[in-house]
Structure 1
Amino acid sequence: MINWKIIACFAIIAVLTGACRKNETTPGIKDGNGQPAKPVKRPLGLVTGPAIAKAIGPAGGTLASADNRILLEVPPGAVQTNVQFSIQPVENTLEGSPGKAFRLLPEGVAFTRPVTIRYTPGAEELAGINPDVLFLAYQNKDGYHYLAANTSIDPATHQLSVQTKHFSDWSIVELFELEADTTQVLPGGKAQLQLMWHLGSLLTVDTTDQPIGDLIPYDGQVSKVKWSMASGKGKITANGAKCEYQAPGEVPDENPAFVSVSVPITLYDSKRTGLAMLTTPIFTMPDEYLMVSVDRIPFINNPPENGESSIRMEVDKFYVSAQLQDGHAIYILIPGGVMGTGSFPYGEDDKKAYIDFSTNATDILNSWVTHKLNCEDCDPVFSGGQVKISKNGKIGEYVEGEFTAEVWKIGQYNPPKKQLSGKFRVLRTI
Structure 2
Amino acid sequence: MHHSFDESHGIFYRGLKRFIGAIGDSSKVLFSKDKNRRYLRQKLIMERHKTSLLTLAGYLTLVLALSCNKDTPAPADDEAPPVFGEPVTKPKGQPSASAASAIIGPAGGVLQYEQAVRLEVPPEAVAQPTTFAIQPISNTLDDGSAAQAFRLMPEGVHFKKPIKVSFPYIPGNGDNPTARMVAFQRNDGIWCGVPTALDAQQHLLTVETHHFSDWVWFDMLSLRQDKETARAGETANLKLMEQVLGALMPASTIDSVPLAAMDDIGFSKDVTVSGWRIVSGPGTLEPKLNTNLLLGDAIYTAPTTVNEAANVEIQVEVESRNGYISDPTAPNGRRKLGKMILLTTIRLMPENFVQLKLNGAEQDFAHLGNARVVNGTLYIRTHNEQINLTLQCNGAGRGTYPGGFGNGQSLFSLTRSQGQTRRSFANFYRSCDTNKEVFNGSAVISTVEDYVEGTFTGNLYPVDHQSCDLPEATAVEFKFRIKRS
TM-score using structure 1 length? 0.68
Q: Which has the higher helix share?
A: 2
What's the offset of the Cα at 1:277? Answer: 4.0
CA contact (8 A) 2:171 2:203 kept: no
Residue of structure 1 aligned with 2:282, choices 208, 233, 243: 233
Work out which of the residue numbers 259, 265, 269 in structure 2 matches 1:212.
Answer: 259
Trace 1:241-390 onto structure 2 (pairs within 5 A). Answer: 241-251=296-306, 255-264=310-319, 266-267=323-324, 270=327, 271-274=334-337, 275-296=339-360, 301-302=365-366, 310-316=368-374, 318-323=378-383, 329-334=388-393, 340-341=397-398, 343-348=400-405, 353-358=410-415, 360=417, 365-374=422-431, 379=435, 381-390=437-446
380-389 or 403-412, which deviates more: 380-389
Identity %: 20
1:410 aligns with 2:463: yes
CA offsets, 1:366-403, max 9 Å, x none? 4422233346x98451523433444332xxx2223333
Distance (Å, rounded) in 2 between the aligned partners of 1:352 and 1:54: 41
SS for the counterpart of 2:324 is coil
Q: Given that residues 72 and 118 in structure 1 are in contact (C-alpha distance below 8 angstroms), is that contact kept between their aligned partners in structure 2?
A: yes
* Contact 1:118/1:159 (8 A) holds in 2: no
What is residue 179 of structure 1 aligned with on the other side? Answer: 224
Unmatched 5+ residue regions in structure 2?
Answer: 1-73, 250-254, 289-294, 328-333
- Counterpart position of 2:25: none
Question: Would the alpha carbon gap of residues 344 and 142 (structure 1) be closer, same or farther in structure 2, given more than 3 Å must change?
Answer: closer
Greater length-normalized contact order (CA 8 Å, ≥ 6 residues apart): 1
Counterpart AA for 2:235: K
SS of the aligned residue for 2:454 comes to strand
Q: Tell whether the 8 Å contact from 1:124 to 1:295 is kept in structure 2 after alignment.
A: no
Letter in 2 for 1:427: K
CA distance in 2 between counterparts of 1:117 and 1:25 reads 34
Measured in 1, the distance between the counterparts of 2:79 and 2:248 equals 7
The reply on whether 1:98 has 2:121 as its aligned counterpart is no
Cα distance, 1:193 vs structure 2? 0.6
- Residues of 1 paired with 2:224 and 2:246: CA distance? 21
CA contact (8 A) 2:382 2:389 kept: yes
Aligned pair count?
372
Distance 1:408 1:168, change over 3 A: closer
Counterpart position of 2:242: 197
Residues 230-254 of structure 1: CA deviation (Å, up to 9, x unaligned): 4333332234221222223322657
My pick for the range that moved more, 272-281 or 45-54, is 45-54
CA contact (8 A) 1:182 1:192 kept: yes
Q: Deviations over 1:322-361 (max 9, x none)?
A: 346x9655322357xx655455444457875332235558
Q: 1:269 and 1:407, CA in 2 relative to 1: closer, same or farther beyond 3 A?
A: closer
Query: Would the aligned equivalents of 1:45 and 1:90 in 2 still touch at CA under 8 Å?
Result: no
Residue 476 of structure 2 aligns with which residue?
A: 420
Residue 37 of structure 1: aligned partner: 85
Instruction: Return closer, same or farther for 1:140/1:364 CA change in 2, 3 Å cut-off.
Output: same
Q: Contact (CA 8 Å) 2:453, 2:482: kept in 1 or not? A: yes
**C-alpha separation between the residues in 2 aligned to 1:90 and 1:382?**
14
Of 170, 191, 201, which residue of structure 2 is paired with 1:145?
191
> How many Å separate the matches in 2 of 1:350 and 1:105?
36
* CA deviation after TM superposition for structure 1 residue 129, in Å: 6.1
Q: Please say if 1:400 is aligned against 2:453.
A: yes
Deviations 1:84-114 (A, max 9, x none): 79755467564335242325778678x8xxx
Normalized against structure 2, the TM-score is what?
0.61
Structure of greater Rg = 2
1:84 touches 1:106 (CA, 8 Å); kept in 2?
no
* Change beyond 3 A, Cα 1:277–1:380: farther
Taking a change above 3 Å as real, the CA distance of residues 133 and 311 of structure 1, as seen in their structure-2 partners, is farther
Give 2:14's aligned residue: none
CA distance in 1 between partners of 2:421 and 2:379 (Å): 19
SS in 1 for 2:272: helix
State the Cα distance separating 1:412 from its structure 2 match: 1.9
Aligned position for 2:68: none
Relative to structure 1, is the Cα distance of residues 71 and 289 closer, same or farther in structure 2, using a 3 angstrom cutoff?
A: same
Q: 1:349 to 1:301 in 2, by over 3 A?
A: same
Residues 92 and 189 of structure 2 are in contact (CA less than 8 Å); yes or no, is this contact kept in structure 1? yes
RMSD after superposition? 4.4
The answer (yes or no) to whether the contact 2:429–2:438 under 8 Å persists in 1 is yes
Q: CA deviation at 1:172?
A: 2.9
**Mapped contact 1:183–1:283 kept (Cα < 8 A):** yes
Task: Identify the residue that residue 17 of structure 1 maps to in structure 2.
Answer: none
